[in-house]
Amino acid sequence: MRVSLFIALLFLVACHNDPANKDWGGYLGGNDRSHYSPLRQINRDNVAQLKVAWSFSSHDLDTSRNTQIQCNPLILDGVLYGSTPTLDFFALDASNGKQIWKIAPLEDLSELNGLGVNRGLAVWNGLEGRRLLVTAGPYLLCIDAGSGKLIPEFGKHGRVDLRVGMGRDPQSFFLTANSPGVVFEDLYIVGSRVDEGYGAGPGHIRAYDVRTGEQRWIFHTIPQPGEEGYETWPPEAYTYEGGANSWAGMALDEEKGLLFVPTGSATADFYGGNRIGANLFANCLIALDAHNGKRIWHFQTVHHDIWDRDLPSTPNLVTVKRDGKPVEAVAQITKTGFVFLFNRDDGTPLFPIEEVAMLPSDIPGESAWPTQPIPTAPPPFVRQRFTPDEVTTISDTSRENALQMLATLRTGGPFVPPSFQGTVIFPGFDGGGEWGGAGWDQESGTLYVNANEMPWILKLFEVTKQPNGLLRDRGFNTYKNYCTGCHGLDRQGSSFMGGIPELTQLPSRRKIDEAKHILQSGQGQMPNFRWLGDQEIDALVAFLYNLDTPDNKPAASNTPSKEDRRYQHTGYNKFVGADGYPAVRPPWGTLSAIDLNLGTIRWQVPLGIHQELIDQGLPPTGTENYGGPVVTAGGLLFIAATADEKIRAFDKDNGAELWSADLPAAGYATPATYSVDGKQFLVIACGGGKLGTKSGDTWVAYALP
């Protein structure tokens, strides 16, 4: 009896002492994308004592381009690997933040420097050493983790152009990859981010040899003749359609060799007359054989998407209980606030999913799908309808203003079709779940999700041809076709996608030659438009600069004959009240705990505050948020993500806030936790640059005194 008691005590002691060194060994914690750490040195009892342990500034902040850092780092053997606002990459001593090396892999391609954002890195350990695989601009890079130098035998001098191998002219479309892919055996498997308007490139999934950079297999997300799903598109759609891309990242069951791929919508986002049909494999969770890219099963979460309802995050590999037995499953959150839960092996839903009838479209040429799949459990983690009862009460003026506006718009559930009148998109284009993803706690069977509840207004208009006369008249038509989706019909820009600049003052900021160069090469978040041709670029510049140049040239025709560009949208317009706050009642940002065994929501709390509203005596409203949580065995959930530029710790059992700290810039990234020499750290990238907050270039790590 005494021996058994002694063994039991040793077991308890072992469970409450962290290992001296514990890595954060993969994107979002590992290939299961659990966001989970077994560390417990920092726990409910002492988290309030956290202090800054070290900080690192990359000194490449560029406020003129509203830069960001969205990177979830790797921490391996006491070394932290991350990225900077301009997509340089670095290695730090994870115990003190001292730089070991830094590489600027695109310094010889200045027009690509700072293109997009990086959300993480992947690592391969082979006989040749440890290699980091990252994407910057359209290039896949292979970096020696020890020296920080590109591997010369990988691709061409350490780089592979991801635009090559898609079956289209590599110079005709925009492509990058914000999120890291997965390493499986000697393969690196990666998706992509593409343009979301007319003329976009396809989003096929590809695997590359980690040693040579050679493309080893491809899965066509827009099926070609003879492939499954081909009949769900017009016959020639594979030659001109774009999107159906996996931009959010993937999960991998390495033991089974199963790759789980979430995909986004087909293009253009809000009009599908050029792609009538269900559009497989857009908006799908796809299980592929990681060895060869063969489809095992799939489930489409939105049929014929005309709302930009991309699957916004990596799936989570989970194990749930059914009839007292463990079932290996995969969970996928959505922008509509649903959680889809499937058997990992065959795709069987673990909660019933119903096909629910939806409203038809009244846009000529459009054919909205008559039903959409709605899971019966868990319940949605955000509200589904924006009605007068949900209109803001922050102030009488804002409420009256919002009610008047709402009365002019179409509203209802998440699948009311786009319209000329204007349709409320709720939850918004960036809600409920977003790219930060969900955290998974296996011990309690709980999925933790941060979400946005922000209404937006989607309005379509018909693009009409301008008569020949002045070149700027034709340029206005070009602008409406290709630019309003981001910059707006009024050229006022948008806070969407990290901040899109207004163009009314462009002539005072840029010389004409500079503007032409940006149109031809791209810059920052903006893709290149060289495929428009010189005539259309000249016309667009004439419109933007209000030039009186005569139009003596016939309009160039670069539009694929099968692609219908009759309609465009007026831009990404948030539905706000007169005071500038969301037109819907709070909360505007939430954190939810969802029991996947029972299919219920355990708790939900607002995430973030507007201090000026707190000062007025109002309760916490939550804020829009970007970046996910980290869950620990110490009973905690760590998350930054909010527009109030704070990082917080919550009790994972009940949602009580236990600690917060001010950041040098908002942490729109998922943090990481790790231990070095017996000391646990929490680290977050503070890049800001979204939601009207300042940009930053600092990484901050916290630890107990």
CATH code of residue 558: 1.10.760.10
572 within domain boundaries: no
* Judgement on whether residues 450 and 471 belong to the same structural domain of the protein: no
Map 54-96 to HEC letters: EEEECCCCCHHHCCCCCCECEEECCEEEEECCCCCEEEEECCC
Q: What percent of the chain has pLDDT over 70?
A: 91
Residues 6 or more apart whose CB falls under 8 angstroms from that of 586 comprise 392, 394, 606, 619, 620, 621, 622
Q: Can you give the pLDDT at residue 490?
A: 82
* Judgement on whether residues 554 and 685 belong to the same structural domain of the protein: no
* Judgement on whether residues 70 and 136 belong to the same structural domain of the protein: yes
413 within domain boundaries: no
- Least-confidence region, from 71-80, 463-472, 631-640: 463-472
Rounded distance between C-alpha atoms, residue 511 and residue 411, angstroms: 43
pTM attached to this predicted model: 0.91
- The tens digit of pLDDT for each residue in 638-692 reads 999 999 999 999 999 999 999 999 999 999 999 999 999 999 999 999 999 999 9
- The tens digit of pLDDT for each residue in 550-609 reads 776 654 444 444 556 689 898 889 999 999 999 999 999 999 999 999 999 999 999 999
- The tens digit of pLDDT for each residue in 111-158 reads 554 467 999 999 999 999 999 999 998 999 999 999 999 999 999 999
Q: Can you give the pLDDT at residue 447?
A: 98
* Judgement on whether residues 259 and 147 belong to the same structural domain of the protein: yes
pLDDT at 470 over 90: no
CATH code for the domain in which residue 203 is found:
2.140.10.10
* Judgement on whether residues 557 and 659 belong to the same structural domain of the protein: no
The two structure tokens encoding residue 700: 């901050």
DSSP 433: S
Rounded distance between C-alpha atoms, residue 163 and residue 326, angstroms: 42
404 within domain boundaries: no
Mean pLDDT score, 437-463: 96
* Judgement on whether residues 535 and 610 belong to the same structural domain of the protein: no
* Judgement on whether residues 530 and 626 belong to the same structural domain of the protein: no
Whether the CB-CB separation of 198 and 275 falls below 8 Å is answered with: no
pLDDT at 309 over 60: yes
Q: Can you give the pLDDT at residue 687?
A: 97
Q: Can you give the pLDDT at residue 111?
A: 58
Q: Per-residue confidence at 513, pLDDT binned at 50, 70, 90? A: confident
Q: What is the domain count for the chain?
A: 2
* Judgement on whether residues 541 and 596 belong to the same structural domain of the protein: no
* Judgement on whether residues 430 and 507 belong to the same structural domain of the protein: no
Q: Can you give the pLDDT at residue 365?
A: 94
Q: Phi/psi at 266 (nearest 5 deg)? A: -80, 165
pLDDT at 705 over 80: yes
Q: Can you give the pLDDT at residue 471?
A: 80
580 within domain boundaries: no
Q: What is the mean pLDDT of the chain?
A: 91
Task: Write out the residue range of the structural domain in which residue 499 sits.
Answer: 464-564
Angle at alpha carbon of residue 279, lines to 275 and 284, rounded to 5°: 150
- The tens digit of pLDDT for each residue in 621-649 reads 999 999 999 999 999 999 999 999 999 99
137 within domain boundaries: yes
* Judgement on whether residues 221 and 331 belong to the same structural domain of the protein: yes
Q: Can you give the pLDDT at residue 546?
A: 80
Q: Can you give the pLDDT at residue 115?
A: 60
Q: Can you give the pLDDT at residue 12?
A: 39
Whether the CB-CB separation of 171 and 530 falls below 8 Å is answered with: yes
* Judgement on whether residues 59 and 204 belong to the same structural domain of the protein: yes
* Judgement on whether residues 533 and 661 belong to the same structural domain of the protein: no
pLDDT at 107 over 90: no
pLDDT at 531 over 90: no
394 within domain boundaries: no
225 within domain boundaries: yes
Mean pLDDT score, 350-373: 97
420 within domain boundaries: no
Mean pLDDT score, 533-544: 81
- The tens digit of pLDDT for each residue in 5-39 reads 443 333 334 445 688 889 999 999 999 999 999 99
